[in-house]
Amino acid sequence: MELFEQTAASLAADIKSKKVSAKEVTDALLARIDAHDKNIGAFTCIDAEGARAQAAEIDSRIAKGESVGALAGVPVAIKDNIHVTGMPTTCSSKIMKPFVPPYDAFVTKKMREAGAVFLGKTNLDEFAMGSSTENSALQITHNPHDFERVPGGSSGGSAAAVAAGFSPLALGSDTGGSIRAPASFCGCVGLKPTYGVVSRYGLVAFGSSLDQIGPFGRTVEDTALLLSVIAGHDPKDSTSRAEPVDGLNAPLNPSAKGLKIGLPKEYFETDGLSDEVRNSVLAAVDALKSEGAQVQEVSLPMIKYAVPTYYIVATAEASSNLARYDGVHYGSRAEGTDNIIDLFSKTREEGFGPEVKRRIMLGTYVLSAGYYDAYYLRALKVRTRIAQDFDKAFEQVDVIASPVAPDTAFKLGELINDPLAMYLSDIYTISTNLASVPGISVPCGTDSKGMPVGLQLMGRRFEDARLLSTAAAYERLSGWNGKIASL
């Protein structure tokens, strides 16, 4: 088995036991990136020198018999809206260039302490606003399984990097499905943790009450390993959970026996759900049922309002968060202006792409004096009702199963000029962010075109460990277990 084919868990074990050096692993993955990323466009920047220096340090510590962390020598790719000291953070936007943060995000600090090797930053939809990674101002990312199709978004670069064998692990951020949708489209595992489990310090904000950093891996075990490293209380993030989350550092228990699985009828009755996706998801649930899981129908009646609710709340928060990028406080500055109003206007005109402008305008509108009560306040009330629906469902079941997306990866350019259709592609994922519950995408087969299909599992708040164990139980039954794209 080639080094790029190994899982993060096996690499960590082999590096610690000196079967292979961290330098060898890093060199192998950098060589694969150099050979193939020109066709995929997963990375916005590669820090080969820094990665080799980190790997050399790990090898030196192991040679001296020193203790090393859980990710010692394991390469990781990082979405380009998460800060790493000395590495550019662009958010795939012109307005962020040339920003180089002087500090690590909480998650990258934790990974550095655990011995991870940072390969570089990955492409995304500008400021994480999109579902296809076509809204990047820097480049387009292609799906490793079919270069004519999207990798999903907004964390498409991270998912593509894992699926292509460029990195066994990656970090993404999920505001309305931006980890789970790319994981589904690219055939890897992606987890959105419960809101508050992972600190947002050092993540460039899109929608502050919705954003959550989370891990990608080729297996559930690898995903759980990365989560165990990056989770934890952070006093610099007021929304960070103070109490430890049970079970994150314990071994997975991949058994479905006695598990109660809910199938939300509303998710399977929506227009546009592909028969192939529906059949793959139901077959996955049947596999868990054959191992002793109990399956029953549940209802989430307010889900029909999830899309409009999300796009009111998210755009309102985006409008507020992006107001700081004006050429004075943050971001690049336009040249050739005579007054402050022209400076603001020209900076934003040149710096923001069309999707970001669209969402800023929508958010500003719903927050305006005449429409705040009619739209934003009402959306907050509906959000509460959606969360209550999940609470009621979880009184009956342990996890909820559903599709991740209505269909598999669509072709590049197919939906870019139809923002409403693009927004509706998130119909199955946004409710978990509104309700602050954890959700995971795990591969459950392929369609007739050979494109991956994802099974979404959702759990109770702060039961992330149980959710991972359920996903591991299905992964064991499915036999997918870390497949990567043939390049």
Q: Which residue in this structure is represented by tokens 């655990």?
A: 114
Could you give the CA distance from residue 467 to residue 459 in angstroms, rounded to a whole number? 6
Is 411 contained in some domain? no
The pLDDT tens digits for 150-162 are 999 999 999 999 9
Helix residue spans in 337-393 (DSSP H): 340-351, 354-367, 378-393
Please compute the mean of the pLDDT values over residues 241-270 and round it to a whole number.
Answer: 94
Confidence of residue 73 (pLDDT cuts 50, 70, 90): very high
331, 68 contact by CB (below 8 A) = no
Could you give the CA distance from residue 481 to residue 484 in angstroms, rounded to a whole number? 9
Question: How far separated are the first and last CA of the chain, in Å rounded?
Answer: 16
Q: What is the pLDDT of residue 98?
A: 84
The pLDDT tens digits for 199-220 are 999 999 999 999 999 999 999 9
Element (H, E) at 419: helix 419-424
Q: What is the pLDDT of residue 110?
A: 98
- Does the pLDDT at position 25 exceed 80? yes
Number of domains in the chain: 1
Is 31 contained in some domain? yes
Domain that includes residue 247, residue range:
3-254+459-478
Cβ neighbours around 208 below 10 Å, total: 15
Contacts of 261 (CB under 8 A, 6+ apart): 285, 288, 289, 293, 294, 295, 296, 397, 398, 399, 400, 401
The pLDDT tens digits for 117-132 are 999 999 999 999 999 9
Give 95's strand partners.
none
Give the global pTM.
Answer: 0.97
The region, left, alpha or beta by phi > 0 then psi within -120 to 50, assigned to residue 177 is: left
Q: Which residue in this structure is represented by tokens 């959702």?
A: 458
414: helix, strand or coil: coil
Average pLDDT value for the chain: 96
What is the signed CA dihedral for 313, 317, 318, 319, rounded to 10 degrees? 110
Could you give the CA distance from residue 112 to residue 114 in angstroms, rounded to a whole number? 5
405, 453 contact by CB (below 8 A) = no
Confidence of residue 254 (pLDDT cuts 50, 70, 90): very high
The pLDDT tens digits for 284-343 are 999 999 999 999 999 999 999 999 999 999 999 999 999 999 989 888 999 989 899 999
149, 203, 140: which is closest to 174 by C-alpha?
A: 203
Is 223 contained in some domain? yes
Is 169 contained in some domain? yes
Is 67 contained in some domain? yes
Q: What is the pLDDT of residue 479?
A: 83
When computed from its CA atoms, the radius of gyration of the chain, rounded to whole angstroms, is 21
Could you give the CA distance from residue 9 to residue 57 in angstroms, rounded to a whole number? 20
- At how many degrees (to 10) do helices 306-321 and 378-393 cross? 130
Could you give the CA distance from residue 74 to residue 11 in angstroms, rounded to a whole number? 7
127: helix, strand or coil: helix
Give the tokens for residue 356.
Answer: 């970001």
HSE-CB at 189 with a 13 A cutoff on CA atoms is 32
Is 105 contained in some domain? yes
> Could you tell me the CATH number of the domain that includes residue 147?
3.90.1300.10
Element (H, E) at 315: helix 306-321
- At how many degrees (to 10) do helices 22-40 and 48-63 cross? 160
Could you give the CA distance from residue 187 to residue 156 in angstroms, rounded to a whole number? 12
Is 46 contained in some domain? yes
- Does the pLDDT at position 482 exceed 80? no
Q: What is the pLDDT of residue 329?
A: 87
472, 459 contact by CB (below 8 A) = no
As annotated, the active-site residues are 79, 154, 178
Is 77 contained in some domain? yes
Q: In what order do the strands lie in the sheet with 260-264?
A: 43-46, 117-122, 75-79, 169-174, 212-217, 189-192, 439-446, 452-459, 399-403, 260-264, 294-298
Please compute the mean of the pLDDT values over residues 425-435 and round it to a whole number.
Answer: 97
Strands (E), 99-231: 117-122, 169-174, 189-192, 212-217
The region, left, alpha or beta by phi > 0 then psi within -120 to 50, assigned to residue 135 is: alpha
- Does the pLDDT at position 483 exceed 90? no
Element (H, E) at 221: helix 220-230
